Amino acid sequence: MYAVDEFPSKVLGKHGVNRIDPGMVIRLCKASLVAAMALLLALVAFNNIVDYGDNWNFVHHVMGMDTVFPDSTQRWRAIHSAPVQQLFYLAIIGAEALSGALLMLGAAALFRQARSERDFVRALALPVAGLTVAMLLYGGGFVAVGGEWFLMWQSKSWGGSDAAARIFLLNAAVLIVLLAGRTPAGAES
């Protein structure tokens, strides 16, 4: 066994630790987090497509507000038109797929550009866009519109606000990490 302070030099050689580029390691970690969010959004979109009926029921009940508190005075907000509900559901799936695709392409670009800080920064547009689309969908669409307008939080059967908030926060955390330590464009050192 190696002592803790001996481990890096025994494994990597006397000067091996000095050869590791910490900037590249950080960039690879950031790209990996983007790839994780790409996987999450791609799986969510995939599940909504292959299990269309079950997930359609969720949208139908939330928008129809048929499981909110029985004495709610806000039921006038409900949308009962199946075609309108289907359009909302297709828009949700489209936003999830768009976000997943932007994040996949963005992760690939970040991994390709991980050797250079300048090139890595230039590759940020796609993942930032993908994370933003996901945050708009889950924060604006599910938490705000679903949770507050359609009172999804009142439903014991169809309450998805917590899951939506979790996905929103995961994407927000990755966006913060991705942009951390970056000098804003146009800022002088």
Give the model confidence (pLDDT) of 8-54 as tens digits: 555 555 555 567 888 899 999 999 999 999 999 999 999 999 999 98
- Residue 18 has what pLDDT? 64
- Residue 174 has what pLDDT? 98
Residue 28 lies in a domain: yes
State which amino acid sits at residue 27.
Answer: R
User: pTM of this prediction?
Assistant: 0.85
How many Å apart are CA 171 and CA 91, to the nearest integer? 19
Q: What is the dihedral of CA 56, 62, 67, 70, to 10 degrees?
A: -160
Residue 38 lies in a domain: yes
Residue 128 lies in a domain: yes
Question: Does the pLDDT at position 189 exceed 50?
Answer: no
Q: What are the angstrom distances between the C-alpha of 10 and each of 18, 19, 20, 22? A: 13, 14, 15, 19
How many Å apart are CA 156 and CA 184, to the nearest integer? 44
Q: Which domain holds residue 158?
A: 21-70+82-179
How many Å apart are CA 144 and CA 61, to the nearest integer? 16
Residues near 20 by beta carbon (within 8 Å), at least 6 away in sequence: 12
Number of domains the chain contains = 1
Question: Does the pLDDT at position 186 exceed 90?
Answer: no
Residue 5 lies in a domain: no
Residue 14 lies in a domain: no
The encoded tokens of residue 167 equal 């996905």
Dump pLDDT digits (tens) for 146-180.
999 999 998 888 888 899 999 999 999 999 999 99
Residue 131 lies in a domain: yes
Dump pLDDT digits (tens) for 69-106.
989 999 999 999 999 999 999 999 999 999 999 999 99
Residue 101 lies in a domain: yes
